[in-house]
Structure 1
Amino acid sequence: MVYAETRQGYFQEIKQNIGSLIRPQADESYSTVQLSQLSNFQVETDPIYQQLPVVGHPMTDDNNAPLYNNAEIQSRLSLQNAVQIAVKRNPNISQSLANLAAQNANIDVAKAQYYPQLKAGLNTGDFTSSDRGRQVYTVEANQMLYDFGKVKSSVDTQKNKLEAEQANVLVSIDEISTETSRAIIAVLRYRVLLNIAQDQVKGVSRLHEIARLRSEAGISSYADPVQAQSYVEYAKTYLLTQQNKLRQEEQKLRTLLGFDVSRTDFIIHDDFLKKSELYTSPKMNTIPSMIAAQAEIEVARSQKKQTELSRYPTVSLVGSLNQALNGKNPNTGKEDDTDSSIGISMSSNFYQGGAVSSQIRSAGYAEQAARSKLNATYLNIMDSTQIARENIENMDKQIWVLIERERSTAKTRELYEEQYKLGKRSILDLLSSEQSFHSSRAERESARYDIYDTLAIYINVIGKSRDIYQLNNTKIQGFEVQ
């Protein structure tokens, strides 16, 4: 049995070795990306796009400590883990990977021109002559010897397209990561706003009860509880609005993660802010959109070269064999005879009505368009990073103003309640102060989560999603970024 297995393995190896001589071997390394290889290029853009402005300074206090401590957010699922779950099950990434595998197969199609080409056919005689019953079976083999690099340029074009598809997979991963991250941030935002809305309902309901008791006791006007009731109804309407928004965001997140998230808490670690490197110039050659744009330039270049080389001849070794199955062999004139030949063939399409020149011009314009797209992508990244920094800096300032406002409205609320009991303030003053207090709380929390949301967008723009969400060196539906 051991001998039989060894012999079987031996013949299998011989079969594989012979197969490698007549057809290209599939390369499965396409599903593993070497980011250092993809990013091995220099970004050359117009001088007008070179300057990358920096706004403000990192958000730290006087002791260089982060302004926002998220330790109070308890969770069973971190932001990074949630993103990893989403990208490993999203069909958009599956689609990109399928396109990547298809493009990898196109490389083998291009490489096949290096290997022998076999054709076979059956010809009959001229139906209008006496040899109309003749049948000749023909086999022809063609092996390309030299073509001035035409096949190589075709293979290079397909390889460049493969790099573009790899970059598109990275873009898909970053987009799903960002979508998941922003959905989690939105869920956390509306959970906090829902709690504030519930506090507001409790607050104005308490004031309504105070106004009702005072009215029944004859201490205040009957209009006071009526006015308070309108504030209660408004607070309940606001509460329902926040509940609806929360359910919408939870449904979006449920679709991304594949399970009910209404009972799941999420945590945003401090690293989300620290590792984003908000005030560091991004590395342009590691951003997937820039990699994709650069790959399109390389595709255009190789296509242009491929078109230029099509003018040159191709030298091939040609062998043919024909067998007359019925009648005379047209090459030998003998009945049911066999004829064979081996020779060198050189062929070239010297002129096709100016088609090659037009194709070269078209490829040149395609290269110009790809370069313009690279510059446009660079400009969009610069613009987005600048806007993100401006927004975060402004929202940071806004938070401190809202904190002071929250403190002042809290004190005002306490003073107005005491003055109302003494008859020095109206119920409207008390209700307005209560509403202002909860409104300032809601605005402060909204500004805080606006910063997180802007950071998620910024992380996507500068291509750091895979670093922040710990996606490098992990299998994502069979795809890996190293």
Structure 2
Amino acid sequence: MCETKNPSISLKNLSTFLGLTVCMHTSIYAQDLGYLNNIKNSVQSLIKPQDDQSYKTAQMQQLTNFQFKPDAELNELPVIESSIIGRKAPFNNLYTEGLAKSVNDPRNNRQFSIDNAVQIAVKRNPAIAESIATLASQNANIDVAKAGYYPQLQAGMNTGDFTASDKGRQVYSIQANQRLYDFGKVESSVNTQQNKLAVEQANVLGSIDEIAAQTARTILRVLRYQATVKIAQDQVTGVSRLYEIARLRANAGISSNADPVQAQSYVEYSKSYLISQQNFLSQEQQKLKTLLGFEVDRVHFTIPDELVSKSGLYDTPTMNTIPAMIAAQAEIEVAKSQKKQTELSRYPTISLVGSVNKALNGKNPNTGIENDSDSSISISMSSNFYQGGAVGSQVKAAGFAEQAARSKLNAIYLNILDSTRTARENIENMNKQISVLQDRESSTAKTRELYEEQYKLGKRSILDLLSSAQSFHSSRAERESARYDIYDTVAVYIHVTGKSRDVYHLNNTKIQGFEIQP
């Protein structure tokens, strides 16, 4: 006798089956949702421009794809080529004295290179955010211009004549207009907006370079005043020691009682000088704090070697990589496209027009039938045939705007030439000055030692000794100032020649959503 077994399903198999079923339904739903999104995007592409985020990336190869040739009358002016081009910068006197000591100072709990600080500053500065927002606004204007390629829909409602019997009539209408041919009007408008976008991209680059230069120069001033504060502290210590010597000698009756009084005046002057240098240092640190967003009095900043090596001080500047030149060239293209756009406005525009209207509470004015509907499809051609000479005047205005843009480009070119030549001359002269100041520092140091020995022997007055000490510290301060003047001039040169993005490593990095691709 055969026994039959009741079918059974284990909980494990049931859970597996339910899981597969849920996964299948989820997959099918995801596929359906993706399919619907594709249909939605395809339909939207037929009725409006697609969202384009490429404006957030500065393609330098495209922005710099132009060659600048100065006007003929500019050739008589000194050009950037000179006898020093091709030589290496003579920075033998750019010593780092005083910096090595502060590196190991336990009070400095953080170290930053100038390029690291610049990267922080440009990523948080609102001025750059403002220029990027302006860029985004201009990118939207491109879509406004492209909208001319797409259908235009209008809807409205008309009533009957309030003084007639059909005053209660209401006619609802919808009209569609598709541009067929306009002799390049929309294309010219799009080109104008795209050229304006290039201007705004160059302005963003200029804002980035401006904040980079501002940060670098502020750091250099902080380092300058840190060095001068150290010298001022040494001066206070040295003059105070001389005052103590003069006081002891006066108490012992070896020298006049006027000696400590005279020394005291020098001590007070050196303390006043120290306070002024500390004030300047504090001011620059506050400026740097605003730029970086954190306290900087306990941060040690270093000057990278490539600040000088990458500056290309004696190379011919590449004009088409400078943001001001890029913006000026783009403004020329804007003026040219606007001129073309104005000239094309004389030509007609051919459009396909379709309309549907529906009458309520009355007769349709097109058919004369009560509450009737009517539709039509037609070809329309319109032209601004004559506007009282406005088009011709607009063409003239656009032509003058193009001339102004070209003159602006040449003016920027001359300013860059002047700035680069001045920077080179300043560095050459200051480098020579440092050599002289080094010799002066050595001689004043020896003079101070000799005068101190002679004062102890009674052969020199206290004023001679105090003046020699002050001259020694003054020569040290002047040498440090000249050294940082050279660095500051290099930073200015980097900014003027558009090398900030290379020197401070800003290429291929996101700066508030904006990226620079060389």
TM > 0.5 fold call: yes
1:423-471: per-residue Cα shift (whole Å, max 9, x none)? 1100000000000000000000000000011111110000000000000
Structure 1 match to 2:80: 52
Structure 2 match to 1:16: 41
CA distance in 1, matches of 2:90, 2:399: 50
Whether the 8 Å CA contact 2:93–2:434 is kept in 1: the answer is no
| Counterpart residue type for residue 36 of structure 2 | F
Structure 1 match to 2:331: 296
Whether the 8 Å CA contact 1:204–1:431 is kept in 2: the answer is yes
Whether the 8 Å CA contact 1:55–1:390 is kept in 2: the answer is no
Secondary structure of the structure 2 residue equivalent to 1:433? helix
Of 235, 242, 245, the match for 1:210: 245
Secondary structure of the structure 1 residue equivalent to 2:299? coil
- 1:129 deviates by 1.0
Whether the 8 Å CA contact 2:196–2:331 is kept in 1: the answer is yes
1:321-342: per-residue Cα shift (whole Å, max 9, x none)? 1100110000000000111000
Secondary structure of the structure 2 residue equivalent to 1:424? coil
Structure 1 match to 2:477: 442
Q: Does 1:179 align with 2:214?
A: yes
Structure 2 match to 1:200: 235
Of 163, 168, 177, the match for 1:142: 177
- TM-score normalised according to structure 2 size: 0.91
What does 1:312-327 align with in structure 2 at a 5 Å threshold? 312-327=347-362
Structure 2 match to 1:124: 159
Structure 2 match to 1:97: 132
CA distance in 1, matches of 2:184, 2:457: 97
C-alpha distance 55-432 of structure 1, shift in aligned 2 (>3 A): farther
Of 347, 350, 359, the match for 2:382: 347
CA distance in 2, matches of 1:443, 1:179: 23
Secondary structure of the structure 2 residue equivalent to 1:260? coil
Structure 1 match to 2:463: 428
Q: Does 1:381 align with 2:416?
A: yes
Structure 1 match to 2:294: 259
User: What RMSD over aligned residues (CA atoms) do the two structures have, in Å?
Assistant: 1.1
| Counterpart residue type for residue 68 of structure 1 | L
Structure 1 match to 2:373: 338
Of 215, 226, 229, the match for 1:191: 226
CA distance in 2, matches of 1:80, 1:48: 40
- TM-score normalised according to structure 1 size: 0.98
Secondary structure of the structure 2 residue equivalent to 1:254? helix
Structure 1 match to 2:54: 29
Of 188, 195, 204, the match for 1:153: 188
Whether the 8 Å CA contact 1:32–1:479 is kept in 2: the answer is yes
Secondary structure of the structure 2 residue equivalent to 1:269? coil
C-alpha distance 99-277 of structure 1, shift in aligned 2 (>3 A): same
CA distance in 1, matches of 2:319, 2:416: 9
1:78-135: per-residue Cα shift (whole Å, max 9, x none)? 0000000000000000000000000000000000010000000000011111111111
- 1:55 deviates by 5.8
Whether the 8 Å CA contact 2:90–2:431 is kept in 1: the answer is no
Q: Does 1:457 align with 2:482?
A: no
Q: Does 1:7 align with 2:32?
A: yes
CA distance in 1, matches of 2:431, 2:62: 39
| Counterpart residue type for residue 321 of structure 1 | V
- 1:69 deviates by 5.0
CA distance in 1, matches of 2:88, 2:455: 45
Unaligned runs of at least 5 residues, structure 1: none
Whether the 8 Å CA contact 1:174–1:466 is kept in 2: the answer is yes
CA distance in 2, matches of 1:53, 1:211: 59
Identity %: 69
| Counterpart residue type for residue 54 of structure 1 | S
Whether the 8 Å CA contact 1:328–1:336 is kept in 2: the answer is yes
1:299-358: per-residue Cα shift (whole Å, max 9, x none)? 111111000000000000000011001100000000001110001000001001010001
| Counterpart residue type for residue 499 of structure 2 | K
CA distance in 1, matches of 2:253, 2:195: 86
| Counterpart residue type for residue 3 of structure 1 | I
CA distance in 1, matches of 2:388, 2:74: 42
- 1:60 deviates by 3.5
| Counterpart residue type for residue 25 of structure 1 | Q
Secondary structure of the structure 2 residue equivalent to 1:343? strand
Secondary structure of the structure 2 residue equivalent to 1:143? strand
Of 308, 328, 333, the match for 2:363: 328
- 1:49 deviates by 3.3
Secondary structure of the structure 2 residue equivalent to 1:265? strand
CA distance in 1, matches of 2:301, 2:133: 32
Structure 2 match to 1:367: 402
Secondary structure of the structure 1 residue equivalent to 2:228? helix
Structure 1 match to 2:23: none
Unaligned runs of at least 5 residues, structure 2: 1-25, 104-109
CA distance in 2, matches of 1:348, 1:420: 99
| Counterpart residue type for residue 59 of structure 1 | A
Structure 1 match to 2:94: 68
Q: 38-47 or 220-229, which moves further after superposition?
A: 38-47
Q: Does 1:358 align with 2:393?
A: yes
| Counterpart residue type for residue 240 of structure 2 | S
C-alpha distance 69-417 of structure 1, shift in aligned 2 (>3 A): closer
1:217-251: per-residue Cα shift (whole Å, max 9, x none)? 00000000000000000000000000000000000
| Counterpart residue type for residue 39 of structure 2 | I
Q: How many residues align?
A: 478
C-alpha distance 227-69 of structure 1, shift in aligned 2 (>3 A): closer
| Counterpart residue type for residue 286 of structure 1 | T
CA distance in 1, matches of 2:162, 2:391: 39
CA distance in 2, matches of 1:409, 1:231: 17
CA distance in 2, matches of 1:410, 1:337: 108
